[in-house]
């Protein structure tokens, strides 16, 4: 309550100081990293995602994919309405993302698109040379007491599994939530 922790409890198998997988909350950290890069003028909301990954593009880029922006991806208004991670993608999720056939014009349909979040995490890694988590630790998370043992799993291909594989403590989640609730202000 306010700045005081009034109750702390954990249910098995979760323990106070052990990291556990946060699944889709990972996407919020990726969104914060993208926001930080925008604040640093390293990218813009209206930038086209294909401009950052030319080495992954097919010879002919579908116009729907060509029109897709960072903002579309953050809002889960991508050009896809399927999330086929379980299908055979040969281990390279980024290449697979850009090789798929789009289903509609971006910005017209909401779909909970984990694949877009993964690609945004790859973008953070490409622009900073760090996973979204290490980048955020350098920018803010260490300052608020986020645990150094926190980590993110890596997928084949070398990119952080940035749609669902953040491992941290429940207290880390609380610290991150407070930072967001306080609009980036701390102490």
Q: Give, for 167, the enclosing helix (H) or strand (E).
A: strand 166-168
What is the C-alpha to C-alpha distance for residues 71 and 47, in angstroms, rounded to an integer?
8
Q: Give, for 166, the enclosing helix (H) or strand (E).
A: strand 166-168
What is the C-alpha to C-alpha distance for residues 24 and 175, in angstroms, rounded to an integer?
17
Find out whether 41 and 56 touch, Cβ atoms under 8 Å. no
pLDDT tens track, the chain, 187 positions: 777 788 888 888 888 889 999 999 999 999 999 999 999 999 999 999 999 999 999 999 999 999 999 999 999 999 999 877 766 667 789 999 999 999 999 999 999 989 999 999 999 999 999 999 999 999 999 999 999 999 999 988 899 999 999 999 989 999 999 999 988 888 7
The DSSP code sequence of 99-159 is HSPP-S-TTS-----HHHHHHHHHHHHHHHSS-HHHHHIIIIITTTT--TT-EE-B-TTS-
Whole-prediction pTM: 0.93
């Amino acid at each position: 309550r306010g700045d005081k922790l009034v109750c702390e409890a954990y249910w098995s198998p979760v323990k106070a100081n052990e990291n556990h997988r946060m699944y889709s909350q990972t996407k919020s950290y990726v969104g914060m990293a993208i926001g930080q890069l925008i604040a640093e003028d390293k990218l813009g909301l209206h930038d086209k995602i294909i401009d950052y990954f030319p080495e992954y593009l097919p010879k002919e880029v579908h116009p729907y994919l060509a029109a897709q922006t960072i903002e579309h991806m953050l809002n889960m208004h991508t050009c896809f309405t399927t999330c086929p991670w379980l299908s055979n993608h040969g281990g390279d999720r980024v290449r697979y993302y850009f090789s798929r056939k789009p289903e509609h014009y971006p910005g017209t349909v909401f779909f909970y698109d984990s694949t877009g979040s993964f690609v945004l995490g790859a973008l953070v890694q490409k622009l900073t040379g760090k996973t979204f988590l290490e980048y955020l630790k350098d920018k803010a998370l260490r300052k608020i007491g986020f645990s150094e043992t926190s980590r993110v799993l890596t997928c084949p291909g070398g990119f952080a599994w940035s749609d669902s594989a953040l491992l941290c403590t429940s207290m880390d989640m609380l610290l991150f939530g407070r930072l967001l609730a306080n609009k980036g202000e701390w102490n």
